Structure 1
Amino acid sequence: MRKSSLSKLLLAMMLMLLLVLAACNGGSDDADSESDAGSDAGSDTEENTDEESEEGIYSIDDFSTDKTSEGEAIDGGTLNFGLVTDTVFEGTLNWNFYSGAPDAEIIGLFDEPLLSTDNNFNYTQDGAAEWEVSDDNKTFTFTIRDNVNWHDGEPVTAEDWAYSFEVIGHPDYTGVRYDSTMTNVEGMEAYHNGEAESISGIEVVDEKTLKITFIEANPSLIASGIWPYAMPKHIFEEIPVAEMAESDAVRQNPIGMGPFKVDSIVPGESVTFTANEDYWQGTPKLDGLTLKVVAPETVVQALETGEVDLVDSFPTDQYPDVAETMTNVEFLGQTDLAYTYIGFKLGKWDGDAGEVVPNPDAKMADVNLRKAMWHAVDNDAVGKQFYNGLRWNANTLIIPAYPDYHDPSIEAPTYDPDLANQILDEAGYEDVTGDGIRENPDGEELVINFASMSGGDTAEPIANYYIQSWEAVGLKVQLLDGRLQEFNTFYDRVEADDPDIDIYQGAWGTGSDVDPSGLYGRNAQFNYTRYASEENDELLAEGASEASLDIAHRQEVYKDWQQLMVDEIPVFPTLYRAVLVPVNNRVTDYSIQWSWNGWHEVGVTEETPQTVE
């Protein structure tokens, strides 16, 4: 039996055990029964020791972020990069317009920010542009280095950087980057509303110098909170803003200022790059590279045979199958800037007003229903059984990768089906018909439509586990259309507030800025739950205020915000996670550190990838 088949069988067995535990604990009178679910799942007897129950559980602390270089790099050579996804990439290849992580991976190979960051996500002076800030922390002056050029040879100018702001702020802009960080630019809202022809807070001083003035001194400004991407104005200025996202300049012939140039694109499948000999940090060691889509189901084979040298992210559920046998790669790892979550649809997006509109009559509007659904699932067991400890239970919406702000002491709902049943009983969700399924407080049938994405061996069993866990406390939850949704379809429907979706399982890459307003603010298009409240508005505004330049003050604000999200539950986080990146042994000088910007230094020690013998 192949390892992939064995993995699926084991996953099915784990799921069955989890469901049995959920069913047993759901009817138990023992208030402490839930505390044993995570450790006992998958055990044959209660006599197993802690050591035995943790067998096969890994820790992110066991991995390095930097590739060990085994030998000297040869001159030139090419490298194959795998983009792990079960669907085609969308192909919106411009920072101003992309919306999905697969496209971001591609863009990052040929374009890059003008500002660099350190591993604490603060801007440094080592990037393509240097910067100064005024005494009041509101005006930033940026100077682009003289040797920074676009792939067509034109210099990257202050006009190009200013143009990004002008496009994002334009009334006809079709992307999702117009948010509170943009409206903090002086004059941006007047420009966006058609009341001004230019943005007063954007000043092009000379060809290489840009000055940006913000309304408020926001602590996020020096922590990855300034839009750092230029846009080649000489290419886009003749294209109407409303048509840019679908133009050839984005879809077919994108250019950037990064170490590689786009040579050719097979839409949705692959991109071939050649070295940018005029790159500002120096000519890349590699002659080029090819990015290709690799399905999660075939990623192991692609790595073992050398079809790809590395991938953007390896499915952690498959790691135990290859931890000892895939000897041709080195696995790198770190805590991901991401989390998975269950979101509740609580309103609609008003595109004209540019804000969410909560619906007090939404099916999921009762916080008691949402809280019970959180208590009904055992995320600790999911992390151990499906991801072998490389994903783990999440308690708040600010992730541990922000140690100054993540509050591990917040007591979020944990697995307690007895309490879930009690909450539902007291809130009036009762089984009126005697079929084991609860009706709503008005005695009407309650059917909750659940949207979840396809992808990898674990996607379906985990979705089924959540459904069965909710059924164990009397809630009828069914998959949207009776099946998992592929990536692009899923987000298209969630973003469009499809009325058939009541809850959904999503994942957020948080980016490098701790400020959560871009995901949960009233004016954030990414606020897919469409939740808003005055207290949420106030806390998010305070966390981004001048007063929060004092780190201690900002920590208190975000502690309060994390608690508010636990109390209100527009979403509940399920798992924090590790990111694993296998890299072929022939690859040198590669790193996954957040501050790393060294693709031009990456090389290979031999012409062809090493394979598993």
Structure 2
Amino acid sequence: MAKKQFMLLASLLLVLSVFLAACTGKDDKEESSETKPEDNEKETEQVDEDVSEEEGSELSFPTEVSNKAEPIEDGEMTVALVSDSPFEGTLNRVFYTKGPDYDVIQYFDESLFAYDGDYQITNDGAAEYEISDDKKTITITIRDGVKWHDGEPVKASDLLYAYQLLGHPDYDGSRYDFMIENVEGMPEYHEGKTKEISGIEVSEDEKTISITFTEATPSVLSGIWAVPVPRHHVGDVMNGEITMEELTSSDKIRKNPIGFGPYKVAKIVPGESVLFERFDDYWRGKPALKTLVLKVVNSASIMEALKKGDIDLAEFPADQYLNAKELDNIEILGDLDLAFTYIGFKLGKWDDEKKENVMDPNMKMADKKLRQAMWYAMDNETIGKELYHGLRFPATSLIIPVFETFHDKTLETPSYDPEKAKALLDEAGYKDIDGDGFREDPEGNEFIVNFASMSGGETAEPIAKFYIQNWEEVGIKVELVDGRLHEINSFYDMVRADDPKIDIFQGAFGTGSDPDPSGLYARNSPFNTFRFVSEKNDQLLADGVSEKAFDQEYRKKVYDEWQAMMAEEVPLAPTVYRYYLVAANERVVNYSIEPGSENARPWKWAVSE
């Protein structure tokens, strides 16, 4: 490691030690990409409480609290949403984009389906399903007694309404993806050529809905949209009662949302807290808690709040792990996260008229050798080990390790190698002509890369500066956009708007539960903020969800090829995979993050004396 970089790392770690001693620090935030299943289920093992700080993939944590005491009959629980920004407040699964809003939604709304440990739908949820012999039609039957919080029954036409919103010509959200477009007749409806979606039929008794797809796909079991929208509550776009624009900003979504989950929204303090009350008519049975409070807690304050017992549950940042271990009134649970962090490269723009991404060969980051070099220059292992205590570890593939069948463990991708980075830059024509230590572009012009990154606690800025130093060591001059970090909401607003100030950016994705990556990287995906497109990418993404992909070996072969292609093209460089950590107060009972456990569902959560 060059002396200059070593000195930066040493100073970074010194600063970090002060941060940790002061109980500060926070992970970066994530932008959630897809609807998550009701149970965020993963294969894991329950082991002893301590955690090894060796290679990240070998870490393991307990997944269920040890307290087995009798719960209080009408208990109250306080859960922290650890964030240095307010939640945005788009409290509907069709329209939300950011993880903190999902953290609110999960308590009052849910999918009609339950999910198993492989993220496949089961018949244990609020609805049962059958799939036709040709695998193109799924028939969904809602159980008796499934009610919205206002007492109205959940109807099959409410699920139809979700599809009508997702495919509406005026829908400007991010979830018009393959599984929506694949519904028979959806493209014609989306283009405004018809008012009906021919592939969806609702029974007269409103209990059953059948959805027919143009192509049979294995994603019907892991990526199907099964979250209804209460048409009677939010208003009907289809009959002109409300417009799409009015709907997304309405009080029925932002202040008074309803669902059919275990708790109903009693009061919202916008951006700050939500009071949930027990929904006695919940279809699974009476929830254990009488009330649940979800409140935003600043990352600098979460450890003190846990220590005082003001918070019962909190998913806390990895850089607070050592502080959390010192608290004797909590247990720490953990598992691999459905998320990863990345450095994205701006390669084009979003064409709002065509609703698709368009690459621009004149973009500053257009040369893939430049992008590869920047990946080789990043010391992600040091970030994971030294700043996150081994709770983050170098990422290789864009299909995360949670999807064990499809994650290519053998894929060779860039790891920290400054000399390789320098060689690639030389090959691409980026050379230091004037001797100032920074490379000029192939035409001999000054070359500065503008880097956007999110704020969020005290480690965000040191990490951004560490990467900037990594790139400086190979001769690339990188500067923060506007000379500072940006708050999460404004950050993603700039990224999605293709702000010309941004050449590269550091973000994070919540991947959702479907291994199909098209929701993030397809030509028509707004989440593809890198704006990367290619015919090969189109074909591989299509092959991965084709009828042939019901053959798991074929699907793995397709995704292996796709992972290799993306590692070669580098529209984004994955930096670290991560563990998520939950602190549970010692009075918490019936709480688990273990896949398949009843205690992983909020209606079972409880507290003891």
Q: Secondary structure at the match of 2:121?
A: coil
Are the equivalent residues in 2 in contact too, given 1:394–1:576 (CA < 8 A)? yes
Task: Quote the residue 2:544 is aligned against.
Answer: 543
Give me the whole-angstrom Cα distance separating, in 1, the residues matched to 2:67 and 2:169: 50
What percent of counterpart residues are identical? 53
Are the equivalent residues in 1 in contact too, given 2:55–2:393 (CA < 8 A)? no
1:262 aligns with 2:260: no
Give me the whole-angstrom Cα distance separating, in 1, the residues matched to 2:146 and 2:11: 50
Are the equivalent residues in 2 in contact too, given 1:270–1:292 (CA < 8 A)? yes
Matches within 5 A, 1:93-242: 93-206=91-204, 207-223=206-222, 225-235=223-233, 236-237=235-236, 238-242=241-245
- Equivalent residue letter for 1:241: M
Give me the whole-angstrom Cα distance separating, in 1, the residues matched to 2:148 and 2:13: 54
Are the equivalent residues in 2 in contact too, given 1:86–1:296 (CA < 8 A)? yes
Are the equivalent residues in 1 in contact too, given 2:13–2:386 (CA < 8 A)? no
- Equivalent residue letter for 1:120: D
Give 1:439 deviation, angstroms. 0.7
Change (3 A) 1:226 1:77: same
Give me the whole-angstrom Cα distance separating, in 1, the residues matched to 2:172 and 2:580: 31
Are the equivalent residues in 2 in contact too, given 1:248–1:254 (CA < 8 A)? yes
Q: Secondary structure at the match of 2:106?
A: helix
1:580 aligns with 2:581: yes
Give 1:156 deviation, angstroms. 0.1
Give 1:253 deviation, angstroms. 0.3
Q: Secondary structure at the match of 1:143?
A: strand
Give me the whole-angstrom Cα distance separating, in 1, the residues matched to 2:231 and 2:445: 57
Matches within 5 A, 1:380-399: 380-399=381-400
Are the equivalent residues in 2 in contact too, given 1:11–1:461 (CA < 8 A)? no
TM norm structure 1: 0.89
- Equivalent residue letter for 2:322: P
Change (3 A) 1:116 1:293: same
Matches within 5 A, 1:473-492: 473-492=474-493
Q: Secondary structure at the match of 1:398?
A: coil
Identify the match of residue 318 of structure 2 among 316, 320, 325: 316
Are the equivalent residues in 2 in contact too, given 1:60–1:578 (CA < 8 A)? no
Give 1:15 deviation, angstroms. 8.0
Write out per-residue CA displacement over residues 235-288 of structure 1, whole angstroms, 9 at most, x where no aligned residue: 221321222110011011000000000001010000101000000001111101
Task: Quote the residue 1:425 is aligned against.
Answer: 426
Give me the whole-angstrom Cα distance separating, in 2, the residues matched to 1:458 and 1:549: 43
Give me the whole-angstrom Cα distance separating, in 1, the residues matched to 2:388 and 2:535: 38
- Equivalent residue letter for 2:523: R
Write out per-residue CA displacement over residues 420-439 of structure 1, whole angstroms, 9 at most, x where no aligned residue: 11111121101122111111
Q: Secondary structure at the match of 1:287?
A: strand
Question: Over aligned residues, Cα RMSD in angstroms?
Answer: 1.8
Give 1:210 deviation, angstroms. 0.4
Q: Secondary structure at the match of 1:296?
A: coil
- Equivalent residue letter for 2:291: G
Deviates more, 1:124-133 or 1:201-210: 201-210
Task: Quote the residue 1:502 is aligned against.
Answer: 503
Are the equivalent residues in 2 in contact too, given 1:315–1:456 (CA < 8 A)? no
Tell me the number of residue pairs that the alignment of Structure 1 and Structure 2 aligns: 560
Give 1:542 deviation, angstroms. 0.3
Write out per-residue CA displacement over residues 448-483 of structure 1, whole angstroms, 9 at most, x where no aligned residue: 110111112321111000000101111110111111
Are the equivalent residues in 2 in contact too, given 1:309–1:583 (CA < 8 A)? yes
Q: Secondary structure at the match of 1:593?
A: coil
Change (3 A) 1:11 1:202: farther
Are the equivalent residues in 2 in contact too, given 1:56–1:320 (CA < 8 A)? no
Give 1:16 deviation, angstroms. 10
Write out per-residue CA displacement over residues 136-180 of structure 1, whole angstroms, 9 at most, x where no aligned residue: 100000000111000000000001010000011111123211122
Give me the whole-angstrom Cα distance separating, in 1, the residues matched to 2:524 and 2:531: 10
- Equivalent residue letter for 2:129: W
Give me the whole-angstrom Cα distance separating, in 1, the residues matched to 2:588 and 2:357: 47
- Equivalent residue letter for 2:493: D
Task: Quote the residue 1:410 is aligned against.
Answer: 411
Give me the whole-angstrom Cα distance separating, in 1, the residues matched to 2:11 and 2:297: 22
Q: Secondary structure at the match of 1:62?
A: coil
Are the equivalent residues in 2 in contact too, given 1:60–1:335 (CA < 8 A)? no
Task: Quote the residue 2:249 is aligned against.
Answer: 246
Give me the whole-angstrom Cα distance separating, in 2, the residues matched to 1:476 and 1:128: 55
Task: Quote the residue 2:280 is aligned against.
Answer: 277
- Equivalent residue letter for 2:194: A
TM norm structure 2: 0.90
Give me the whole-angstrom Cα distance separating, in 2, the residues matched to 1:328 and 1:57: 28
Give 1:321 deviation, angstroms. 2.7
Q: Secondary structure at the match of 2:301?
A: helix
Give 1:61 deviation, angstroms. 3.7
Structure 1 stretches of 4+ with a deviation exceeding 4 A read: 14-17, 54-60, 594-597
- Equivalent residue letter for 1:277: D
Matches within 5 A, 1:71-82: 71-82=69-80
- Equivalent residue letter for 2:319: D
Instruction: In structure 1, list runs of 5 or more residues that go unmatched.
Output: 1-8, 18-53, 607-613
Task: Quote the residue 1:68 is aligned against.
Answer: 66
1:13 aligns with 2:13: yes
Task: Quote the residue 1:327 is aligned against.
Answer: 328
Give me the whole-angstrom Cα distance separating, in 2, the residues matched to 1:60 and 1:265: 41
Are the equivalent residues in 2 in contact too, given 1:516–1:540 (CA < 8 A)? yes
Change (3 A) 1:545 1:377: same
Q: Secondary structure at the match of 1:102?
A: helix
Task: Quote the residue 2:564 is aligned against.
Answer: 563
Give me the whole-angstrom Cα distance separating, in 2, the residues matched to 1:215 and 1:136: 11
- Equivalent residue letter for 1:486: E
Are the equivalent residues in 1 in contact too, given 2:53–2:390 (CA < 8 A)? no
Write out per-residue CA displacement over residues 557-591 of structure 1, whole angstroms, 9 at most, x where no aligned residue: 00000000110000010001000001111111111
Instruction: In structure 2, list runs of 5 or more residues that go unmatched.
Output: 1-8, 18-51
Change (3 A) 1:599 1:495: same
Q: Secondary structure at the match of 2:512?
A: coil
Task: Quote the residue 2:26 is aligned against.
Answer: none
Change (3 A) 1:531 1:57: closer
Give me the whole-angstrom Cα distance separating, in 1, the residues matched to 2:582 and 2:10: 23
Q: Secondary structure at the match of 2:74?
A: coil
Give me the whole-angstrom Cα distance separating, in 2, the residues matched to 1:524 and 1:124: 28
Write out per-residue CA displacement over residues 206-239 of structure 1, whole angstroms, 9 at most, x where no aligned residue: 311000000111111112x110100001122132
Are the equivalent residues in 2 in contact too, given 1:11–1:458 (CA < 8 A)? no
Give 1:298 deviation, angstroms. 1.0
- Equivalent residue letter for 1:438: R
Task: Quote the residue 1:89 is aligned against.
Answer: 87
1:447 aligns with 2:448: yes
Change (3 A) 1:180 1:11: farther
Q: Secondary structure at the match of 1:368?
A: helix
Are the equivalent residues in 1 in contact too, given 2:454–2:487 (CA < 8 A)? yes
Are the equivalent residues in 1 in contact too, given 2:451–2:481 (CA < 8 A)? yes
Are the equivalent residues in 1 in contact too, given 2:449–2:504 (CA < 8 A)? yes
Are the equivalent residues in 1 in contact too, given 2:279–2:287 (CA < 8 A)? yes
- Equivalent residue letter for 2:207: K
Are the equivalent residues in 2 in contact too, given 1:453–1:487 (CA < 8 A)? yes
Give 1:601 deviation, angstroms. 1.5
Give me the whole-angstrom Cα distance separating, in 2, the residues matched to 1:258 and 1:451: 38
Are the equivalent residues in 2 in contact too, given 1:161–1:231 (CA < 8 A)? yes
Give 1:55 deviation, angstroms. 6.9
Are the equivalent residues in 2 in contact too, given 1:60–1:333 (CA < 8 A)? no
Q: Secondary structure at the match of 2:316?
A: coil
Give 1:359 deviation, angstroms. 0.4
Deviates more, 1:472-481 or 1:591-600: 591-600
Change (3 A) 1:59 1:295: farther
Change (3 A) 1:497 1:595: farther
- Equivalent residue letter for 1:76: D
Q: Secondary structure at the match of 1:462?
A: helix
- Equivalent residue letter for 1:181: M
